[in-house]
């Protein structure tokens, strides 16, 4: 392996030129220069598909009560992301080629329409699943697949914190909007709740697109990027690129880590309130306890963002992604004191606070940025496969036992395995020139190893 040394200042507001001739900004200089893209990406993630992730919990009891759906049938909502697996690699390639703004615009238009359709349901659960299917088809175009690409392109020295801040707006919006939407549903009904969701996603998405501004597709940015070609598409076909990727140990470990860590997604995405109520908490208390999940996500993301810029990512992963297993076991235990339930929900939220940041960070550091969305698409496929598999397992365990406890234990075991898979990425290097672990960021100038040729 051959490497070039690039000096980088971690403080101050001015940058310097690297050996490639590209001017780089300092740690804080990146925030000063690209704050509007950071804010736009944050709003895009918060008011895109992620908002529904936090709100489906609240609509579940109302829909089950009005239409008489069983908990086991409603749990199958998590199977819908399987539809996304069929199209997300194309969405990733599409985003790489046309740019973030063009790709996200599709989702910003379609997502609010699906919430209006939810508000018009008549009780046939197949209608509910059909609308969820449509959301799955466009959801990632207004999610981390697209918007985090803006952040990894604009931020380098502060990439970990930028990803953390960019993804934190979603749980923050979830923490604020969960009790608000809970009151809307209780006072005005679930149909009005879905109409409010349509308004939020439409307005939030439009503002996000304006703040991001014009984005350059990777298919053209190779002429504008540094001479190392880090932002250019490879020129190979998608199939050829995929064949190269599957020979990379880091790629396979990232897929495995996402698969195991996201197995409990159906639980945190649509069942948490039901889990807490099963433990004996009344509906109003359960709503506030569920809001602690979003708080845990916020805490996890900030801690992760700080750590990623200072500590090796695989070490951050073993801690941030392993602790939620304790939360799942606590929820499965016979102890139902409010502080225990609240603490368990907080720990469960930590995984969502760390897993997304760590996954995006490792993709950006181990693979060509021109392929970022394409690689991230396959990592996301693992997430959706895990969610769908978890939904089937949850539905079956609920049908057999009428309790969440069995699923919670399974979730705890797989969460530990996922954390270990992420940890093992620290012992591998990909065959791509950019594969490297950034140096620890002390107060002064540092020397950063940047892969040049292998």
CB within 8 A of 422, min separation 6: which ones? 253, 254, 257, 261, 313, 314, 317, 318, 321, 358, 362
pLDDT at 216: 65
Residues 307, 313, 314: CA angle, nearest 5 degrees: 130
Our CA dihedral for 260, 262, 266, 271, rounded to 10 degrees, sits at: 100
Confidence of residue 123 (pLDDT cuts 50, 70, 90): confident
Domains located in the chain, CATH noted: 33-219+228-443 (1.20.1250.20)
HEC string for 410-423: HHHHHHHHHHHHHH
pLDDT at 452: 31
When pLDDT is averaged across residues 285-304 and rounded to a whole number, the result is: 76
**What's the pLDDT tens digit per position in 376-426?**
988 888 887 887 788 888 888 888 887 888 888 898 899 999 989 988 888
pLDDT at 350: 75
Confidence of residue 445 (pLDDT cuts 50, 70, 90): very low
Asked if 55 and 192 count as a contact pair (C-beta separation under 8 A), the reply is no
Nearest in space to 118 (alpha carbons), one of 196, 3, 226: 196
Model's pTM, two decimal places? 0.71
CB within 8 A of 254, min separation 6: which ones? 359, 362, 363, 379, 382, 421, 422, 425
**What's the pLDDT tens digit per position in 18-67?**
433 445 778 888 898 889 999 999 999 989 888 877 787 788 888 888 88
Residue 249 in tokens: 């140990």
pLDDT at 1: 32
Average pLDDT taken over every residue of the chain: 77
Lowest mean pLDDT among 99-108, 278-287, 316-325: 278-287
In this structure, the number of other CB atoms found within 10 A of the CB of residue 409 comes to 16
Higher per-residue confidence, 366 vs 83? 366
């Amino acid at each position: 392996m051959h490497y070039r040394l690039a000096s980088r200042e971690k403080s101050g507001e001015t940058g310097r030129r690297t050996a490639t001739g590209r001017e780089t900004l300092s740690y804080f200089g990146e925030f000063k220069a690209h704050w509007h893209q950071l804010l736009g990406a944050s709003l895009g993630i918060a008011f895109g598909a992620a908002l529904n992730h936090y709100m489906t919990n609240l609509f579940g009891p109302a829909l089950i009560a009005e239409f008489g759906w069983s908990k086991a049938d409603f749990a199958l909502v998590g199977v819908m992301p399987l539809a996304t697996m069929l199209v997300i690699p194309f969405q990733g390639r599409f985003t790489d080629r046309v740019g973030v703004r063009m790709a996200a615009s599709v989702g910003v238009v379609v997502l609010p329409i699906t919430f209006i359709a939810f508000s018009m349901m008549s009780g046939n659960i197949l209608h509910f699943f059909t609308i969820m299917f449509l959301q799955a088809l466009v959801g990632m175009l207004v999610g981390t697949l697209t918007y985090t690409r803006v952040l990894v392109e604009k931020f380098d020295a502060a990439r970990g914190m930028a990803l953390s801040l960019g993804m934190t707006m979603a749980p923050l919006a979830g923490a604020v909007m969960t009790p608000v939407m809970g009151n809307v549903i209780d006072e005005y009904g679930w149909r009005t709740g879905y109409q409010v969701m349509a308004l939020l996603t439409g307005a939030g998405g439009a503002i996000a697109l304006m703040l991001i501004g014009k984005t350059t597709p990777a298919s053209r940015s190779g002429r504008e990027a540094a001479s190392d070609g880090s932002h250019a598409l490879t020129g190979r076909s998608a199939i050829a690129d995929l064949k190269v990727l599957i020979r990379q140990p880091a790629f396979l470990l990232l897929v495995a880590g996402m698969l195991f860590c996201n197995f409990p997604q159906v639980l945190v995405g649509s069942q948490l309130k039901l889990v807490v109520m099963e433990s004996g908490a009344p509906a109003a208390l359960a709503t506030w306890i569920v809001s602690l999940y979003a708080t845990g996500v916020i805490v996890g993301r900030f801690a992760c963002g700080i750590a990623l810029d200072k500590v090796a990512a695989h070490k951050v992963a073993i801690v941030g992604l392993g602790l939620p297993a304790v939360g799942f076991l606590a929820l499965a235990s016979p102890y139902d004191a409010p502080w225990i339930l609240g603490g368990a929900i907080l720990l469960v939220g930590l995984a969502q606070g760390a897993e997304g940041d760590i996954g995006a960070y490792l993709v950006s550091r181990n693979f060509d940025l021109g392929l970022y969305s394409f690689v991230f698409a396959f990592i996301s496929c693992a997430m959706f496969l895990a969610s769908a598999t978890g939904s089937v397992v949850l539905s079956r365990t609920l049908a057999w036992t009428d309790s969440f406890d069995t699923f919670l234990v399974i979730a705890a075991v797989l969460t530990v395995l996922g954390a270990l898979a992420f940890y093992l990425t620290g012992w591998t290097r990909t065959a791509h020139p950019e594969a490297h672990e950034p140096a620890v960021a002390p107060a002064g100038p540092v020397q950063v190893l940047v892969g040049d040729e292998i």
